[in-house]
A and B are shown apart, each in its own frame.
Chain A
Amino acid sequence: MDSFIPNRSAMDFDYAHYMLTEGRKTKEDQTPCSSPAKEAYRKLLAETLNMNRTRILAFKNKPPTPVEHFPSGNSIASAHPAKSAKLRRHIPQSSERTLDAPDLVDDFYLNLLDWGSGNVLAIALANTVYLWDASDSSTSELVTVDDENGPITSVSWAPDGRHIAIGLNNSEVQLWDSTSNRQLRTMRGCHRSRVGSMAWNSHILTTGGMDGQIVNNDVRIRSHVVETYRGHQQEVCGLKWSASGQQLASGGNDNLVHIWDRSMASSNSPTQWLHRLEDHTSAVKALAWCSFQSNLLATGGGGGDRTIKFWNTHTGACLNSVDTGSQVCSLLWSKNERELLSSHGFTQNQLTLWKYPSMVKMTELTGHTSRVLYMAQSPDGCTVASAAGDETLRFWNVFGAPEVAKAAPKANNEPFSQLNRIR
């Protein structure tokens, strides 16, 4: 009920009295020779003690004070305002930026896009690898291979963000130093046909080939093949190491997903898989290890399967399966939130953002006119780059703008808690 009758119980009488009598006096007392430090201190003090109110009269009831029985860091009271801020996060529905990608090969089995920890994006267009520096939007060409060796079938940045591995159609793997634009070595003989997928685990470069072989290459030594994983019958199109580097997930055109564990390595014979996951009914290229739960793996099936499945990689159990309605080409977990981004093909060629674990669709991003085969995430975890057969490379601020990514300051109940001394 609107009325101009003040509510006495909601008023702060002490403050009201002070403002009517003392407040004006303090202002007159201020001398021009008070130092900036004193001024700042005075202001901060006033702010913290809630002295900057201009109103004395109150018309609504005082908000009930939150009762904390067990004070803890993540109390409901402090989490509540943060949650509403999360719900209100605005995700732009169109790409922030689009770059031309002429001659990008439209082949499901290749992995032509990778964003390195040095904030440089690498993309392979036919026989050439281009580097795009995200900090200044500059483009440079790293290498162009000969027609008979190319096209390039995979690119993968090393964890140091400086060295980059390039897989070729002729089964070779080249290693380059992007800072000096120098080719360091060519690794031959690990595969019999094209190398379509690669993944780094510190000094080990794992390569997956059209021959179904997965090879661990130690880039520091001359005889680089140190381990082979045999299990896939057809092309290995997805390859990802877990964050700990203990487990490797691989997906193939044979509809299988294998989990390989380093503890099962043997020196004289090919390593046996830890788990063989056979639930998918199409090729599995999309693989992503969860960023906030260490043994959780998400996999996506191709055109005949169209599902995203979640696995416990310790036990091999399937935790959930969601039908997305279209070919799943790529998966990315958010580093900031409990969200999963998937990219799709026919008919909408969209990027879908899911809330985890509810798997509620948060948003769908359209723009590509051909299936979104390649996706990569920026090192700060806020931006996603996607490339498709429509020969465009698009950037989406789907995981939040850089400011949002910074940790929100925790709610403080004590005044001056952020200062370590007064004066």
Chain B
Amino acid sequence: MPYSRDRLMRAVDIAQVFSRTRSGTLGIISDESRELLVSPLRQRSPMGIGGGRRRNSSFGTPGSGIRQGGSLYQSLAMGRENTPLTGRARGRGTGSVLPSWYPRAPLNDITAVLRAIERRRARTGGREGIPIETPIIVEDEVDVNSNVPSGVQLEHNFSTPASTARLKKPCPPSVHNVSNILLSVTNMDAEESELLTPQKKLLNSIDTVGKALMEELQKLKRTPSAKKAERQKKVRTLMSIR
């Protein structure tokens, strides 16, 4: 429900409602005035007001109810003109030109982003032809650092061999293992590319990278210096509450 129902009995200004009966030059008769004027003894709070909201926060929370409703309908789009014969692939978001990690917001201006993607595609599309790289490398060029969630920064650090030279932060040697993993994933996927869509490949590689990252973090935690630092922290906490 977009807004909660107000159950309080409130006095309604009939004169005001009457002046609002007809809206604008079109003279549309409103439901609310009809009900109130027909039964003057029953006084209810006005309905239908505040239906509109101004929402300026970013929209793209995945898994929200509205999104699910839309995609459910989408899968049911029937009719001769909607058949795959017209070339439209099934599935949500297959036609979307934006990378999957890009935050979506209704009517957000994406002119600059798309132009950057096009430029990048024109440049790297011929050379390497590996779809996985595109979303990771695009981050480099596009100046949307303020909008991108922190999770993406992680991806950016674990770069593919092609952009290893452009790493912004100095990374420990263990991180290079991850780039090796990416390479192997890329090579593996190149063989079975007909079966997997670019999106699936990307998801697979994201999973692999995620696993590798967790392993690295665990390794780092287990080093003696890390353990010492942790122990010192615990001691400090205990001393402070003594």
Identify the A interface with B (CB < 8 A). 95, 97-103, 105-109, 123, 125-128, 130, 132, 137, 139-144, 146-147, 150-151, 158, 160, 162-163, 169, 175-177, 181-186, 203, 219-222, 235, 253, 282-283, 285, 302-304, 327, 345-347, 369-371, 388-393
Tell me the bound Cα distance from A397 to B160 in angstroms: 40
Contact of A107 among B77, B96, B98, B114 (CB under 8 A): B77
Q: How far is the CB of B238 from chain A (nearest CB, A)?
A: 50
Tell me the bound Cα distance from A302 to B2 in angstroms: 37
Whether B87 and A345, one on each chain, are in contact in the complex, defined by CB atoms closer than 8 angstroms, is yes
Tell me the bound Cα distance from A101 to B34 in angstroms: 37
One of B53-61, B128-136, B214-222 contacting the partner: B53-61
Pairs A–B under 8 Å by Cβ, sample size 26:
A95-B111, A97-B109, A98-B114, A100-B107, A103-B71, A106-B95, A107-B79, A108-B79, A109-B79, A109-B81, A130-B107, A132-B107, A140-B55, A147-B66, A163-B24, A181-B51, A182-B30, A184-B23, A222-B34, A346-B87, A347-B87, A369-B95, A369-B97, A389-B95, A391-B98, A392-B110
* Residues in A whose Cβ lies below 8 Å from that of B2: 143-144, 146
* Residues in A whose Cβ lies below 8 Å from that of B29: 184-185, 219-222
Q: Please encode chain B, from 38 to 68, with 1 for each CB lying within 8 Å of some chain A CB and 0 for all others.
A: 0000000000111111111001100001110
Q: Which of chain A's residues has its CB closest to B56's CB? A: A139
Contact of A126 among B26, B31, B70 (CB under 8 A): B70
Whether B86 and A163, one on each chain, are in contact in the complex, defined by CB atoms closer than 8 angstroms, is no
Whether A126 and B67, one on each chain, are in contact in the complex, defined by CB atoms closer than 8 angstroms, is yes
Whether B66 and A181, one on each chain, are in contact in the complex, defined by CB atoms closer than 8 angstroms, is no
Tell me the bound Cα distance from A304 to B107 in angstroms: 33
* Residues in A whose Cβ lies below 8 Å from that of B59: 102
Tell me the bound Cα distance from A304 to B96 in angstroms: 25
Q: How far is the CB of A361 from chain B (nearest CB, A)?
A: 21
* Residues in A whose Cβ lies below 8 Å from that of B105: 100, 102
Question: B108 on the interface (CB 8 Å rule)?
Answer: yes
Question: B25 on the interface (CB 8 Å rule)?
Answer: yes
Tell me the bound Cα distance from A161 to B67 in angstroms: 29
Q: Which of chain B's residues has its CB closest to A104's CB? A: B70
Question: B151 on the interface (CB 8 Å rule)?
Answer: no
* Residues in A whose Cβ lies below 8 Å from that of B184: none
* Residues in B whose Cβ lies below 8 Å from that of A162: 24, 26
Q: Which of chain B's residues has its CB closest to A147's CB? A: B69
Q: How far is the CB of B239 from chain A (nearest CB, A)?
A: 52
Q: Please encode chain B, from 98 to 130, with 1 for each CB lying within 8 Å of some chain A CB and 0 for all others.
A: 100000111111110010000000000000000
* Residues in B whose Cβ lies below 8 Å from that of A101: 106-107
Knowing A98-B109, A108-B79 touch, does A140 contact B93 (C-beta < 8 A)? no
Q: How far is the CB of A101 from chain B (nearest CB, A)?
A: 7
* Residues in B whose Cβ lies below 8 Å from that of A327: 81, 86
Whether A184 and B30, one on each chain, are in contact in the complex, defined by CB atoms closer than 8 angstroms, is yes
A-B contact count (CB 8 A): 197
* Residues in A whose Cβ lies below 8 Å from that of B70: 103, 105, 125-127, 151
Q: Please encode chain B, from 189 to 203, with 1 for each CB lying within 8 Å of some chain A CB and 0 for all others.
A: 000000000000000
Contact of B73 among A105, A183, A391 (CB under 8 A): A105
Whether A346 and B86, one on each chain, are in contact in the complex, defined by CB atoms closer than 8 angstroms, is yes
Whether A99 and B95, one on each chain, are in contact in the complex, defined by CB atoms closer than 8 angstroms, is no
Contact of A219 among B26, B80, B87 (CB under 8 A): B26
Whether B111 and A98, one on each chain, are in contact in the complex, defined by CB atoms closer than 8 angstroms, is yes
Tell me the bound Cα distance from A219 to B30 in angstroms: 9
Tell me the bound Cα distance from A279 to B215 in angstroms: 67
Q: How far is the CB of A104 from chain B (nearest CB, A)?
A: 9
Whether B104 and A100, one on each chain, are in contact in the complex, defined by CB atoms closer than 8 angstroms, is yes
Knowing A102-B104, A140-B52 touch, does A392 contact B97 (C-beta < 8 A)? yes
Tell me the bound Cα distance from A14 to B227 in angstroms: 103
* Residues in B whose Cβ lies below 8 Å from that of A99: 107-110
Tell me the bound Cα distance from A305 to B33 in angstroms: 49
* Residues in A whose Cβ lies below 8 Å from that of B110: 98-100, 392
Q: How far is the CB of B229 from chain A (nearest CB, A)?
A: 44
Having A102-B104, A302-B80, one finds 7 other A-B pairs with CB under 8 Å, namely A102-B105, A125-B106, A126-B73, A181-B53, A182-B48, A283-B81, A390-B95
Q: Which of chain B's residues has its CB closest to A94's CB? A: B115
* Residues in A whose Cβ lies below 8 Å from that of B60: 102
Whether B88 and A106, one on each chain, are in contact in the complex, defined by CB atoms closer than 8 angstroms, is yes
Q: Which of chain A's residues has its CB closest to B87's CB? A: A346
* Residues in A whose Cβ lies below 8 Å from that of B77: 105-107
Contact of A303 among B31, B81, B96 (CB under 8 A): B81
* Residues in B whose Cβ lies below 8 Å from that of A103: 66-67, 70-71
Q: Which of chain A's residues has its CB closest to B85's CB? A: A303
Q: How far is the CB of A172 from chain B (nearest CB, A)?
A: 12
Whether A390 and B97, one on each chain, are in contact in the complex, defined by CB atoms closer than 8 angstroms, is yes
Tell me the bound Cα distance from A177 to B22 in angstroms: 11
Whether B95 and A151, one on each chain, are in contact in the complex, defined by CB atoms closer than 8 angstroms, is no
Q: Which of chain A's residues has its CB closest to B103's CB? A: A100
Task: Please name the 7 residue pairs, one residue from A and one from B, whose CB atoms are nearest each other, closest first.
Answer: A181-B52, A126-B70, A346-B87, A108-B81, A370-B95, A183-B48, A103-B70
Tell me the bound Cα distance from A347 to B65 in angstroms: 33
Tell me the bound Cα distance from A64 to B98 in angstroms: 60
Q: How far is the CB of B73 from chain A (nearest CB, A)?
A: 5
Question: B1 on the interface (CB 8 Å rule)?
Answer: yes
Whether A106 and B28, one on each chain, are in contact in the complex, defined by CB atoms closer than 8 angstroms, is no
Q: How far is the CB of A233 from chain B (nearest CB, A)?
A: 14
Whether A127 and B69, one on each chain, are in contact in the complex, defined by CB atoms closer than 8 angstroms, is yes
Tell me the bound Cα distance from A144 to B106 in angstroms: 13
Question: B74 on the interface (CB 8 Å rule)?
Answer: yes
Question: B232 on the interface (CB 8 Å rule)?
Answer: no
Whether B95 and A183, one on each chain, are in contact in the complex, defined by CB atoms closer than 8 angstroms, is no
* Residues in A whose Cβ lies below 8 Å from that of B86: 303, 327, 345-346, 371
